[in-house]
Structure 1
């Protein structure tokens, strides 16, 4: 949350009546515009691919399907943010949709990471809970959490309790990062192990698959660090200072948050063979 957004609900709201926009507002509008122009059509395309049966099917891609729907909400929030600068009545809707950024994307990505962990480290458990109904239950629980987070964002970020909300959101990000790091380390350790009695050709093919999986996990880990670490640092600095952070620091974390959000869509399009087609066209 940047200073200009918090001014919607504080005594500085009078600045909105004169439509005064600073440099940081223009920069944030640019970042949000990039997220809308590139993110919205990309996630719509991913949803269409999954529904029409491209890839591994709806059951196997159910988590990324819900993640893309959540990302559409974040893209919608980009539009609401721009509108709220000139029309303060949209500020409440903007604060409501911020909950998707705090919980939606992180939790869905965490579910995808746990799914990969079970598939590699505990394949028997993964096959047991592979049916679609278990994924539906998990996603339904996440959407309930998202709704609660959106309501908390609406009521807390527009009041002095916003520091309590930032403390809770920072703790949530630390928890999610810890779970994902545990899963990543366990998967990487499992990929390094070689089964006994393997043929040379099978071993070569398996090493190629392991190398590819290692590269995907490495990219995901780097994007996870870029996505969460700046927001965690910014959240702790605000909690420690008990005041709004500098606009430049929030803009940096926002930019990294937007950029890192394109990693999962690109990986999905590359895995389904659509990314190379788009690049060639």
Structure 2
């Protein structure tokens, strides 16, 4: 985008190097656009409908649905631009249209990892710092966090617009991945700890009172029923396990989306500019927009765990 608006960015990539067709990287990028459009669009529309359905029941957006809803809106804005991107390449080759659609769809490259980071921090506070989580549980704090992320998105988008550099990935992906890794390790450490009441010595006494008795008080002061089994030592609490799976899945998605950008930045000086522009950059973009349908699956898993525990 540091070129003139009148020049279509992918013009020299199709035809590429006298082959008579587009570069392999550009073909993979367009294929990724189509795959995400046909698979990601229905799944994100479904998630959007589920969130709105839950909103109608309680009269407002649930706290747990705030960041997933923001991600859905980002993905839907990208899907709306996919037909324009493809038609522009095959029919119009308009530099202005490409810049406009690129600015709109850049949220999936910049704002999405920031929202993923906020989701990781939210899960970390809920498991490791529950007192702080209750203190900052109000919806106004989520709006403030979203406002800060949006401001960063605008600043970084303007930086790319002015400089035409992909070095911004270092300012987004590496800090976000570091925060997500920290949250994953912290939550996993909590999950491996023995929950209160999981004393192995107490389990032996409790097991005797559960065999063939109903209504017998246990050492913990509860009442044991027939068929109930004592909780195993170190068993993962379902809510904490859900938080860890969410953070781990986000880390996998971030790695798939943005690790190719790291390699592209590192290798860009070792290859000709045309190879970087027509091969590495399209491949990096294809990776950054992939597996957007995984977020609805994470939401479905969390919703199923919530119903199971209720």
TM class by smaller structure: 0.7 to 0.9
Provide the C-alpha distance between the structure 1 equivalents of 2:281 and 2:180, rounded to a whole number of angstroms: 24
Q: Which residue of 1 aligns with 2:53?
A: 52
| 1:113 aligns to 2:120 (yes or no) | yes
Larger CA deviation: 225-234 vs 65-74: 225-234
1:40 aligns with 2:49: no
Q: Distance in 1 between matches of 2:282 and 2:299?
A: 28
Q: Quote the Cα distance in structure 2 between the aligned partners of 1:107 and 1:223.
A: 13
Tell me the equivalent position of 1:279.
none
TM-score normalised per structure 2? 0.71
Whether the aligned pair in 2 keeps the contact of 1:84 and 1:94 (CA below 8 Å) is: no
Name the TM-score, length of structure 1 as normaliser. 0.77
Deviation at 1:14, TM superposition (A): 11
Q: Gaps (5+ residues) in structure 1?
A: 275-281
Comparing both chains, which one has the higher relative contact order based on Cα–Cα distances under 8 Å and sequence gaps of 6 or more? 2
Q: CA deviation at 1:103?
A: 1.4
The alignment covers a number of residue pairs equal to 260
Gaps of 5+ in 2: 204-229, 306-310
Return structure 1 stretches of 4+ with deviation > 6 angstroms.
239-242
CA distance in 2, matches of 1:13, 1:203: 60
Tell me how far 1:194 sits from its aligned partner: 1.2
Question: Hey, what's the Cα distance between the residues in 1 that align with 2:7 and 2:178?
Answer: 34
Q: Matches of 1:235 and 1:259 in 2, distance apart? A: 19
Aligned-CA RMSD value: 3.4
Is 1:230 equivalent to 2:267 in the alignment?
Answer: no
Larger displacement relative to structure 2 (133-142 or 214-223): 214-223
The one of 82, 91, 95 equivalent to 2:86 is 82
For residue 41 of structure 1, report the CA deviation from its aligned partner: 2.4
Separation (CA, whole Å) in 2 of partners of 1:58 and 1:105? 20
Q: Residues 197 and 109 (structure 1 numbering): CA distance in 2 closer, same or farther, change over 3 Å?
A: same
**1:258 equivalenced with 2:289 (yes/no):** yes
Paired with 2:6 and 2:235, the residues of 1 have a C-alpha distance of 53
Give the Å deviation of 1:138: 1.1
